[in-house]
């Protein structure tokens, strides 16, 4: 389950972001966080009521023609634009890219918002935690990581480094999932997916001993080099 | 991508994206209709009777309100004839009287005779209520797509299918 | 799915944006082009006869046949966004109950195309050749906006619902124009001064009266 079976196009930032966004709720829910859907439910409610108005307008327009219903249509157009405006405002000013809101068993709240820029393959994650003792004081952590850290060249999502990124940087998550915490804020490389069995073992060992792969690779540089050149040539 | 559909909220959000594109387009059209007070504020020219001004496929913007002054001679109007589906775009060449009861006669610039013969049996003149709107603005050729679509109905199916697939299978 | 379709979409989207922006710019240039139309019109001959004004007319009625002089300079209206200039002369007269000119009928019109729209005219091949030759090498031909007509016969006879037209008073001839752009807003003779668009100088004839019905003998020798 470390590597997803699905493949996405690595040239599409939208795909990279969406796949990563989807992985966040899965991961956090598996750690015992209870997800709150208030934000997305409000968005859906706004959107679908706007659609309901549109559907009603379509029906009476179809049934009774334009002339006899134009005043209702005028009101409907106004309502629709208000609802649509509210929806836009909600997405832009309230959700602000929030993909997850949840609380753990201790009552600590966590909110994750993500963002990408056009043509820049970097995942901007802002994790805001609110401890139970101080529920009004936000404690934001911002991360900027290239997608290459958890997508391999074929476009498979590799969950280990992704989860390590969260566990290592956010103490609430780290506490819930201590095995994924990697010291010195270094996480396993996606390159691991292409490496030989030996190296995978090495990285596993490194994880369990709490030493990051990058630290380890310094010691076995010669070995790694020889393995790589002997092994199958790099794709692409 | 399709696995996203297993999560009902995500599925609902994805369907919403698609549905909102359609409904926003529809409501913009209706908003324009209400604003211009015309059941179809944008029309596509289907015949050559107003050539060289308008050709087949040109797009016309109509205005149906008479705020400052009434429909008058020289204006180009789109009108409906009782019992005929297709609206006609021609120029008003005669007007007798004022107000809603004013009698209007139209003629295509490219036609030799006026429209008396196009009107319903026993109808000699148009009235304001027959008029869908007056032409106020013009974009050439853009409407040709709709002529193609109505003349080759299978294109419509193909286009809708492609649009649906693209929107459903793609987020943002 | 991603690369090809999305790229095609992006290219098409960009193309439409650019096309519409350029069109909007072209349409906007109309506003900053001065328009200074002038026209001089006078009635030269009028008679009212009784007969069938058109070949499809079902009954005999009174109709007026007119001749007029027109001298107009619309050359300032011919710019790069002008597709055609539609010039028309109308006669208007009041009802018996009011002095307002509530009845109006077009008696003559002409289509003046820009050289760029010549090929769209519905005329014979010889006339087309002549028309195209008249503006060879030119994209805009302001000289076409000059009209000089002497004792021109009306193209359309004036009729009225009810068939009574003789001895109506205070008839007036007016010159109007309608500019058909290549893209943008259609404009008619302005009622007020609008930026660089001046009102038409002149273009209204002196008031005249429709005469009494002409005696029988001319009735059936209609122009058609």
Q: Is the pLDDT of residue A172 over 60?
A: yes
Q: Is the pLDDT of residue B37 over 90?
A: yes
C97: buried, middle or exposed (CB in 10 Å: 19+, 13-18, 0-12)? exposed
Q: What's the predicted TM-score (pTM) here?
A: 0.79
Residue of chain B minimizing CA distance to A5: B3
Span C73-88, mean pLDDT?
95
Classify strands B88-96 and B76-79 as parallel, antiparallel or unpaired: antiparallel
Question: Does residue C217 belong to the interface with chain A, where contact is any CB pair within 8 Å?
Answer: no
8 Å CB contact between B96 and C103: yes
Query: Tens digit of pLDDT for each residue in B65-118?
Result: 888 788 999 999 999 998 888 899 999 999 999 988 899 999 999 998 899 889
8 Å CB contact between A159 and A151: no
Classify strands B103-107 and B88-96 as parallel, antiparallel or unpaired: antiparallel
**Which of B36, B93, B140 is the best residue to mutate to test the C interface, defined by the most C CB atoms within 10 Å of its own CB?**
B93
Backbone region of residue A232 per phi and psi (left: phi > 0; alpha: psi in -120 to 50; beta: other values)? beta
> Structure tokens of A72?
């209702």
Q: Mean pLDDT across chain A, nearest whole number?
A: 81
Look at residues A83, C129, A211, C181 and name the one whose alpha carbon lies nearest to residue B140. Answer: C181
**Sequence-distant (≥ 6) Cβ neighbours of residue A211 within 8 angstroms:** A183
Residue A53 CB coordination number (10 Å): 21
Q: CA C75 to CA C72: how far, in whole Å? A: 9
Span B146-153, mean pLDDT?
87
Pick from C86, C90, C185: which is nearest to B73 by CB? C90
Instruction: Give the pLDDT band (50/70/90) at residue A184.
Output: low
CA distance B8 to chain C (A): 24
- CA angle in degrees (0–180, nearest 5) for C124-C130-C132: 100
For C25, list phi and psi in degrees, rounded to 5: -65, -45
- Residue-level pLDDT at A230: 39
Backbone region of residue A65 per phi and psi (left: phi > 0; alpha: psi in -120 to 50; beta: other values)? left
- Residue-level pLDDT at B171: 59
Span B26-54, mean pLDDT?
93
Going from the N-terminus, what domains does chain B have, and what CATH number goes with each?
2-36+151-169 (no CATH), 42-141 (2.10.109.10)
8 Å CB contact between C70 and C93: no
Q: Which of residues 1-60 of A touch C (CB under 8 A)?
A: 9, 11-12, 15
**Inter-chain contact C56–B73, Cβ cutoff 8 Å?**
no
Give chain B positions within 8 Å (CB) of A51. Answer: 16, 19-20, 23
Judged by DSSP in three states, B70 sits in: coil
Query: Tens digit of pLDDT for each residue in C27-58?
Result: 999 999 999 999 999 999 999 999 888 877 77
Q: CA C1 to CA A24: how far, in whole Å? A: 25
Question: Does residue B21 belong to the interface with chain C, where contact is any CB pair within 8 Å?
Answer: no
Q: Is the pLDDT of residue A203 over 80?
A: no
CA distance C114 to chain B (A): 11
Query: Tens digit of pLDDT for each residue in A9-40?
Result: 888 888 899 999 999 999 999 999 999 999 99
Which sequence spans correspond to the domains of chain C? 1-32, 35-218
H helix intervals, B37-152:
144-151
Span A134-141, mean pLDDT?
89
- Residue-level pLDDT at C105: 95
Strand partners, C47: C65
Q: Is the pLDDT of residue A74 over 80?
A: yes
8 Å CB contact between C53 and C65: no
- Residue-level pLDDT at A195: 52
- Residue-level pLDDT at A229: 39
Which residue's structure tokens are 């096309």? Answer: C19
Which sequence spans correspond to the domains of chain A? 3-31+104-230, 39-95
Pick from B13, B19, B27: which is nearest to A40 by CB? B13
DSSP character for A190? Answer: G
Span A100-111, mean pLDDT?
92
Instruction: Give the pLDDT band (50/70/90) at residue A88.
Output: very high
- Residue-level pLDDT at B160: 87
Query: Tens digit of pLDDT for each residue in A37-49?
Result: 999 999 999 999 9
Q: Is the pLDDT of residue C135 over 90?
A: no
Instruction: Give the pLDDT band (50/70/90) at residue C2.
Output: low
Q: Mean pLDDT across chain C, nearest whole number?
A: 89
**Inter-chain contact A57–B9, Cβ cutoff 8 Å?**
no
Span B47-71, mean pLDDT?
90
């Amino acid at each position: 389950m470390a590597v997803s079976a699905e493949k996405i196009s690595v040239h599409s930032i939208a795909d990279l972001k969406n796949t990563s966004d989807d992985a966040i709720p899965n991961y956090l829910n598996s750690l015992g966080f209870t997800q709150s859907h208030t934000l997305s439910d409000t968005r859906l409610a706004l959107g679908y009521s706007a659609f309901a108005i549109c559907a009603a307008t379509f029906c009476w327009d179809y049934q009774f023609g334009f002339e006899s219903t134009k005043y209702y249509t005028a009101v409907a157009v106004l309502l629709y634009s208000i609802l649509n405006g509210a929806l836009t405002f909600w997405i832009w000013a309230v959700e602000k890219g929030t993909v997850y809101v949840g609380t753990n068993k201790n009552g600590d709240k966590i909110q994750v918002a993500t963002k990408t820029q056009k043509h820049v393959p970097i995942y901007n994650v802002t994790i805001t935690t609110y401890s139970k003792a101080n529920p009004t004081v936000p404690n934001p952590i911002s991360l900027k990581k290239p997608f290459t850290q958890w997508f391999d060249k074929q476009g498979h999502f590799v969950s280990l480094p992704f989860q390590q990124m969260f566990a290592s940087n956010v103490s609430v998550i780290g506490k819930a999932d201590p095995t994924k915490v990697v010291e010195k804020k270094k996480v396993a490389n996606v390159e691991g997916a292409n490496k030989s069995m030996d190296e995978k073992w090495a990285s596993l060992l490194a994880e369990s001993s709490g030493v990051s792969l990058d630290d380890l690779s310094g010691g076995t540089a010669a070995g790694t080099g020889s393995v790589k050149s002997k092994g199958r040539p790099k794709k692409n | 991508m399709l696995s996203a559909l297993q999560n009902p909220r995500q599925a609902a959000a994805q369907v919403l994206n698609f549905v909102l594109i359609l409904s926003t387009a529809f409501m913009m059209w209706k908003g324009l209709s209400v604003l211009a007070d015309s059941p179809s504020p944008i029309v596509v020219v289907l015949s050559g009777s107003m050539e060289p001004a308008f050709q087949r496929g040109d797009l016309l913007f109509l205005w149906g309100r008479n705020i400052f002054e009434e429909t008058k001679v020289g204006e180009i109007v789109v009108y409906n004839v009782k019992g005929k589906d297709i609206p006609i775009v021609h120029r008003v060449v005669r007007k007798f009287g004022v107000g809603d009861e004013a009698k209007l006669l139209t003629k295509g610039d490219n036609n030799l005779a006026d429209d008396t013969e196009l009107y319903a049996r026993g109808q000699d003149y148009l009235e304001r209520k027959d008029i869908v709107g007056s032409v106020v603005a013009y974009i050439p050729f853009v409407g040709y797509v709709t002529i193609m679509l109505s003349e080759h109905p299978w294109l419509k199916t193909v286009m809708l299918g492609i649009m649906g697939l693209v929107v459903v299978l793609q987020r943002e | 799915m991603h690369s090809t379709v999305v790229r095609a979409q992006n290219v098409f989207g960009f193309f439409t944006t650019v096309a519409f922006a350029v069109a909007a710019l072209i349409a906007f240039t109309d506003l900053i082009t001065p328009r200074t139309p002038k026209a001089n019109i006078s009635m030269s001959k009028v008679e009212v006869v009784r007969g069938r004004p058109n070949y499809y007319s079902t009954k005999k009625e009174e109709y007026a046949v007119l001749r007029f002089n027109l001298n107009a300079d619309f050359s300032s209206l011919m710019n790069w966004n002008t597709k055609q200039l539609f010039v028309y002369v109308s006669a208007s007269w009041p009802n018996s109950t009011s002095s307002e000119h509530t009845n109006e009928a077009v008696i003559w019109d002409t289509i003046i195309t820009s050289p760029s729209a010549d090929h769209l005219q519905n005329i014979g091949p010889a006339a087309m050749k002549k028309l195209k030759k008249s503006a060879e090498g030119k994209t805009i031909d302001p000289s076409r906006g000059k009209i000089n007509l002497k004792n021109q016969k009306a193209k359309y006879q004036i009729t009225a619902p009810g068939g009574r037209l003789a001895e109506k008073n205070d008839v007036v001839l007016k010159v109007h124009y309608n500019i058909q752009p290549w893209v943008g807003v259609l404009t008619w003779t302005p009622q007020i001064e609008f930026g660089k668009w001046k009102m038409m100088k002149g273009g209204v004839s002196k008031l005249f009266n429709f005469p009494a019905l002409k005696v029988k003998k001319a009735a059936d020798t209609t122009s058609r």
